[in-house]
Amino acid sequence: MASARRQESSYQGLALPARARLTPQRRAVLDAIEASSGRFTALELFQRARRASPQLGLATTYRTLELLRRTGSLHALSGDGRPAYVRCSPKHHHHLVCLSCGSVEDTELCATPSQRALSRQHGFRAESHELEIYGTCKRCL
Amino acid sequence: MASARRQESSYQGLALPARARLTPQRRAVLDAIEASSGRFTALELFQRARRASPQLGLATTYRTLELLRRTGSLHALSGDGRPAYVRCSPKHHHHLVCLSCGSVEDTELCATPSQRALSRQHGFRAESHELEIYGTCKRCL
DNA sequence: CTTGAGAGTGAGAATCATTTTCAGTAGAGT
DNA sequence: ACTCTACTGAAAATGATTCTCACTCTCAAG
């Protein structure tokens, strides 16, 4: 069989866009994400990845984060003012943010106002939505 | 009757915290918000407010935005990467963000996964939530 | 092999939004 | 008048992120 058009590549369960190469630097960043739990900042990730790949640059870390964000493997949080990232599944999902420990968990639970109500009350046509639920996680309860 | 403990002061429908003075500079910022529609950045607001109060400083604009945010008269948006503010009512509400013109509208329509489901599936106790709905507004349709 | 195109790179400069610092001002309560 | 304290503008500082640049790497074609 002839090889098909190039697809997304995947490593550590994280997807890179088609045509993007899995270089040693990116591998280091992806490993660092794999080793992280919950939310992390770009700088934390950079410092961690740099242990495995000491010549790694901060710009490359940001470039890699952006690639992952585009494939939906990563979500950028900014609700609380402090920027951070969390790994997430590319499927439709929302976030449970723990106010006590700051951890973020994905949930497939979902609810939105009906299109009917949006249309009638606002003349608005919805295409997508994001929901963040704040509270206390299992571990902190 | 003796005067009660000092309350929130309000101007242009925007509330300042108790103990905060309504100075000419703040009044200029509040007027500028009143004259704005939809979302605006801190810098845009500063420039507009400065027309009425030319000696106004940028720091004061930020300080005023922060006060309003604390009373719930203002909401800081950051979902799309670009920081911006929208005026909003202190009541519980969510946002309809138009992908075409960028306008933001409040809605009282609301829906979330049930506490029962959150608890059963994640052991999570919800306290609050934020919902942003993206789509097309009445004017752009 | 060359070679050429384009993706990828690190370092550091540049940008952008925001916050802090500081020395001085303005008002409300005495 | 006096004294708190909130408030102020200007400028410096900060923090996160993006951009620029000159260079390298990979890979497929000749």
Contacts of residue A131 in chain B, CB cutoff 8 Å? 112, 129-131
Indicate the residue type of B34: E
How many angstroms separate the CA atoms of B39 and B100, rounded?
13
Interface of B with A (CB under 8 A): 76, 78-79, 81, 96, 98-99, 105, 107, 109-113, 117-118, 121-138, 141
Question: pLDDT by residue (tens digit) across A17-61?
Answer: 988 999 999 999 999 999 998 789 999 999 999 999 999 999 999
How many angstroms separate the CA atoms of A85 and A39, rounded?
5
Q: Are B135 and B96 in contact (CB under 8 A)?
A: yes
pLDDT for the residue numbered B2: 38
Question: pLDDT by residue (tens digit) across B33-53?
Answer: 999 877 899 999 999 999 999
The model's pTM: 0.81
**How far lies A131's CA from each of A83, B100, B121, in Å?**
17, 21, 17
Give yes or no for residue B128 having a pLDDT over 90.
no
Burial readout A56-89 (b: 16 or more C-beta within 10 A, e: otherwise): beeebbeebbebbeebebbbbbbbeeeebbbbbe
* Closest-approach nucleotide to residue A25, Cα vs C1': C9
Question: pLDDT by residue (tens digit) across A91-130?
Answer: 888 888 887 777 788 899 998 899 999 999 999 999 888 8
Nearest to B97 by CA among B78, B121, B112: B78
